[in-house]
Amino acid sequence: MKKLLLSITLGIFLIIVGCKGQNKLANTTQTSSIDIKVDSILALMTLKEKAGQMLNIGLPAVLTGNYWDSRDSAVYNVEKFNELIIKSAVGSIHNTPGYPAEKEGWYQIIKKIQDSAMQKSHLGIPVLYGIDNIHGANYVNGSVLFPHQIAMAATWNTELTKICGEITSYESRAASLPWNFNPNADVAMNPLWGRIGESFGEDPYLISEMTLAYLKGSQEKGLQDSTSTAVCLKHFIGYGAGKNGKDRANALIPENSLRQYFLPPFEKAIKNGAKGVMISSNAVNGIPCHINSHYINDILKGELGFKGVVISDFSDVEFLVTAHLSAKDKREATKMAVNAGLDMIMNPFDADIVDIIVDLTEKGEIPMSRINDAVTRILRLKYELNLFEVPYNNPKGYTKFASQEHIDANYKSASEAITLLKNNNNILPLSSTKKVLVTGYSANSINVLNGALSRSFLGRETKFNDPSKLTILNAIKKQVGEANIEFVEGTNYLEDINSDKAVEMAKNTDYIIVCVGEIPASEKPSDINELDLPEVQQALIKKLSAAKKPIILVMVQGRPRIIREIEPLVDAIVMVYLPGEEGGRAVSDVVYGNINPSGKLPYTYPKYSGNVLSYYYKKADIRDINWGYDGFYPQFEFGFGLSYTTFDYSNLQINKDTLAGSEALEISIEVKNTGNRKGKEVVEVFLKDFLSTLSPDSKKLVRFSKIELNPGETKSVNFVLNSKDLANIGIQNKWIIEEGEFEIQVGGNPQNLLKKGIYYSK
Ligand code: BGC
């Protein structure tokens, strides 16, 4: 495959490697041998070639037509292709061709790019292709479409999340896509934020564990393995805390909160080898993250010791000029961002940034050492991914792509995510012989189940849907037969369609299943002004309640949309999140009892738009109008979720009631399945700190474990805490443990936890 030029180039650097590392090479680790190769190739590069490595363009920039055109094949614009891929030798590409290519189609695209870059450009460096395969390899047609991250978090099953990472990786690599702009490690503190569905929710510990699990699934086999992808954690940092809840909005995050809540998920993943980090588009405390040298240089690369590639978000250097108004032009913006620590610039439309970087460096406004650091990181990742040897992968080798094994894991994830929030008089599961009316916006749509970033960016195109996948309605019909099931839309997302007809039909049924939901959306299109579930969808339930038939509410949504007025009108509530393409089956299996639900909320579900708090609020936040402290009244608490069976907790034991220095704490609890169905239960361990100078949080999650119990079975569940778990950020912005009383709280229902006090002394 390699042409003469590449061989000569490689030959030269291997000679240099040989000389430079003769003694070293024999005993050296793989990493240091990569470092030697990187140094050698760096020594051969012109400044312009280095700047080219720092550029990430969008694939449509080298195709015919306008950038945003939807296409059905990838036709190259020869001039632009030669200019960008060969002459400018861009380091990296992202985005789709404008349609969801099959793995074979991706192979053709990437092969053409890599062959050209490696055989025709001066140094023959392969391109690093990055993509947002955020719930399965969603941009590879035919891949399994997993639940979105928020649903994976609701499973509280790290093993499943790891498998999700593994399968996503496998199916991405089947399409020669080695770098995934995922997982999302944002802490989603503001329920209005439209990308909560793409996050693991509000809790730093749950997010850290899930991010780590996904990372392991993607990278654990080693990046040289042709089924691994390098992850790119995003978005660093504070994207999920925009003050007004809008996409890319300014967040106010004091240093202590940054360290207590926002950094830990990134820190854990970086310690465990995450290879990429994407910077957040928003500003924190008014400083755009892309020019925040304290965040990138000092914290990310300094304190956390991150050695991988720091990439900008989409067009974000330009955003510094057009939206943040922090730089007067692109030149100034580039200088600020690169000096702040950015290694790669996602500059989707062209290569103008290359000349800007060259000019800035030649004039001494960006030090050469900074450029070398950036390019070293990029080349190192390319070597680690073995792209110089295997720049693309033969799709034929990926026989497990969309296999039954992958579909089963997907179905299992969707099933375990489903969270039963209400079940009056054990109305669920339903008997299959009853007459049921199915209605509502999300009842008969695969797109709503899949959400955004499903084959297309917004995920609203029906032409890309897999016809073999079942909507909620079709899955129910398949399960219990058509005879007993009636359907009418009722509403779409924002408008009444035929709610009167729904009310009429409801009179002749035994139960009504109303499926509400959110329109698929991400980024700006996901902004909303009201957290309430759209009025028309609530109105449908209000009207239907007049029929006096039991109502089962199924919610297909990323965010917790407020349902305060309709909650009392329904008998059961099934929270589905954005469950992906096996979601219809999973809902039907929960409703009819083939699956015993075991999901728990990964965020606090607010009841009032004026009472929005994460569960780790401060006591002063909940002072009520009677001067008491009863002002936290969510609709449902973080960690809440019911089952068709019941669990009893007893015998909470802690090995010591006084803890000193760095001693470990051993906790055990007995959990019994007291119902008559087998079920899974999430055992949650919270820690409450009673007194600290920096006002303590109400509690924090420190451990969890998902177990399965047969009817009547009891299991003892054990946890070990260490003193680090007792630490909080103090007023000096450092982790400290203050002497005093703490409480361990354990259980499966946040309103009913077993508690035991301990004392910590130094
Ligand atoms: C999003 C990122 C995404 C990037 C590349 C941006 O607009 O904020 O999450 O990874 O585009 O597609």
Could you report the per-residue pLDDT of 198-248, keeping only the tens digit for each?
999 999 999 999 999 999 999 999 999 999 999 999 999 999 999 999 999
Please check whether residues 584 and 653 belong to one and the same domain.
no
Q: In testing the pocket of ligand 1, which one of 96, 278, 282 has its CB within 8 Å of the most ligand atoms?
A: 278
Does residue 67 carry a pLDDT above 50? yes
Q: How far is the CA of 758 from the centre of ligand 1 (A)?
A: 45
Last residue of a domain, one of 553, 580, 606: 606
**Ligand 1, closest atom to CA 235?**
9
Q: How far is the CA of 316 from the centre of ligand 1 (A)?
A: 10
The residue whose CA is least distant from atom 8 of ligand 1 is: 313
Q: What is the CATH number of the domain that holds 668?
A: 2.60.40.10
Residue 613 lies in a domain: no
Find the range with the poorest average confidence among 28-42, 369-383, 713-727. Answer: 28-42
Does residue 593 carry a pLDDT above 80? yes
What percent of the chain has pLDDT above 70? 96
pTM: 0.95
Note the pLDDT of residue 146: 98
The residue whose CA is least distant from atom 2 of ligand 1 is: 313
Give the residue from 38, 17, 32 showing the smallest Cα distance to 388. Answer: 38
Q: What would the mean pLDDT of 451-472 be, rounded to a whole number?
A: 97
445 close to 489: Cβ distance less than 8 angstroms: no
Note the pLDDT of residue 29: 45
Please check whether residues 698 and 593 belong to one and the same domain.
no
Does residue 585 carry a pLDDT above 60? yes
Please check whether residues 594 and 684 belong to one and the same domain.
no
Burial class (CB in 10 A: 0-12, 13-18, 19+), 503: buried
Which domain covers residue 548, as residue numbers? 418-606
User: For residue 31, what pLDDT band results from cuts at 50, 70 and 90?
Assistant: low
What percent of the chain has pLDDT above 90? 95
Does residue 144 carry a pLDDT above 80? yes
The residue whose CA is least distant from atom 5 of ligand 1 is: 314
Q: How far is CA 248 from CA 525, 624, 645, 686, in A?
A: 12, 32, 42, 32
Does residue 322 carry a pLDDT above 70? yes
616 close to 700: Cβ distance less than 8 angstroms: yes
Please check whether residues 9 and 76 belong to one and the same domain.
no
Buried b (16+ CB within 10 A) or exposed e, 84-114: bbebbbbbbbbbbbbbbbbbebbbbbbbbbb
Q: How far is the CA of 314 from the centre of ligand 1 (A)?
A: 6
Does residue 348 carry a pLDDT above 60? yes
Please check whether residues 463 and 529 belong to one and the same domain.
yes
Which residue has tokens 């068709």? 644
Does residue 685 carry a pLDDT above 50? yes
Please check whether residues 17 and 144 belong to one and the same domain.
no
**Helix H or strand E encompassing 18:** helix 4-27
Does residue 6 carry a pLDDT above 50? no
Please check whether residues 715 and 578 belong to one and the same domain.
no
Q: What is the CATH number of the domain that holds 63?
A: 3.20.20.300
Please check whether residues 166 and 223 belong to one and the same domain.
yes
Residue 626 lies in a domain: no
Look up residue 316 and give its two tokens. 């974000």
Residue 406 lies in a domain: no
- Is the peptide bond preceding residue 429 cis, with omega within 30 degrees of 0? yes
Q: How far is the CA of 431 from the centre of ligand 1 (A)?
A: 45
**Helix H or strand E encompassing 150:** helix 149-155
Q: How far is the CA of 92 from the centre of ligand 1 (A)?
A: 15
Mean residue pLDDT of the chain comes to 95
Q: What would the mean pLDDT of 155-165 be, rounded to a whole number?
A: 98
Please check whether residues 453 and 590 belong to one and the same domain.
yes
**Ligand 1, closest atom to CA 278?**
10
The residue whose CA is least distant from atom 7 of ligand 1 is: 314
759 close to 659: Cβ distance less than 8 angstroms: yes
Helical pair 330-340 and 352-362, crossing angle rounded to 10 deg: 70
**Ligand 1, closest atom to CA 346?**
5
The residue whose CA is least distant from atom 11 of ligand 1 is: 314
Residue 491 lies in a domain: yes
Q: What is the CATH number of the domain that holds 540?
A: 3.40.50.1700
| Residue-wise DSSP of 348-417 | TT-SHHHHHHHHHHHTTSS-HHHHHHHHHHHHHHHHHTTTTT-SS--GGG-TTTT-HHHHHHHHHHHHHH
**Ligand 1, closest atom to CA 181?**
10
Q: How far is the CA of 58 from the centre of ligand 1 (A)?
A: 11
Does residue 23 carry a pLDDT above 70? no
Q: In testing the pocket of ligand 1, which one of 134, 314, 456 has its CB within 8 Å of the most ligand atoms?
A: 314
Note the pLDDT of residue 4: 34
Please check whether residues 316 and 361 belong to one and the same domain.
yes
Q: How far is the CA of 428 from the centre of ligand 1 (A)?
A: 40
What are 516-553's pLDDT values in tens digits?
Answer: 999 999 999 999 999 999 999 999 999 999 999 999 99
Please check whether residues 110 and 26 belong to one and the same domain.
no
Q: How far is the CA of 607 from the centre of ligand 1 (A)?
A: 31
Among the options 247, 313, 343, 589, which is catalytic? 313
Last residue of a domain, one of 606, 631, 663: 606
Q: What would the mean pLDDT of 39-68 be, rounded to a whole number?
A: 97
The residue whose CA is least distant from atom 6 of ligand 1 is: 314
**Ligand 1, closest atom to CA 239?**
8
**Ligand 1, closest atom to CA 184?**
9
* Rounded distance between C-alpha atoms, residue 720 and residue 705, angstroms: 12
Q: How far is the CA of 358 from the centre of ligand 1 (A)?
A: 26
Residue 436 lies in a domain: yes
User: For residue 16, what pLDDT band results from cuts at 50, 70 and 90?
Assistant: very low
256 close to 154: Cβ distance less than 8 angstroms: no
Binding pocket residue ranges, ligand 1, CB within 6 Å: 94, 132, 181, 234, 278, 281, 313-314, 523
Does residue 470 carry a pLDDT above 80? yes
| Residue-wise DSSP of 570-595 | -SEEEE--S--TTHHHHHHHHHTTSS
Selected residue with higher pLDDT from 626 and 17? 626
Q: In testing the pocket of ligand 1, which one of 313, 316, 458 has its CB within 8 Å of the most ligand atoms?
A: 313
Note the pLDDT of residue 2: 33
Residue 628 lies in a domain: no
**Ligand 1, closest atom to CA 198?**
9
Please check whether residues 539 and 592 belong to one and the same domain.
yes
Q: How many residues does the chain have?
A: 762
**Ligand 1, closest atom to CA 232?**
10
Q: How far is the CA of 313 from the centre of ligand 1 (A)?
A: 6
User: For residue 662, what pLDDT band results from cuts at 50, 70 and 90?
Assistant: confident
Our count of domains for the chain comes to 4
Q: In testing the pocket of ligand 1, which one of 92, 94, 132 has its CB within 8 Å of the most ligand atoms?
A: 132
Last residue of a domain, one of 550, 582, 606: 606
* Rounded distance between C-alpha atoms, residue 315 and residue 304, angstroms: 26
Does residue 293 carry a pLDDT above 70? yes
* Rounded distance between C-alpha atoms, residue 458 and residue 96, angstroms: 13
User: For residue 22, what pLDDT band results from cuts at 50, 70 and 90?
Assistant: very low
| 352 is an active site residue | no
Q: How far is the CA of 479 from the centre of ligand 1 (A)?
A: 39
Look up residue 173 and give its two tokens. 């690599």
Residue 619 lies in a domain: no
Q: How far is the CA of 349 from the centre of ligand 1 (A)?
A: 14
Note the pLDDT of residue 133: 98
Residue 501 lies in a domain: yes
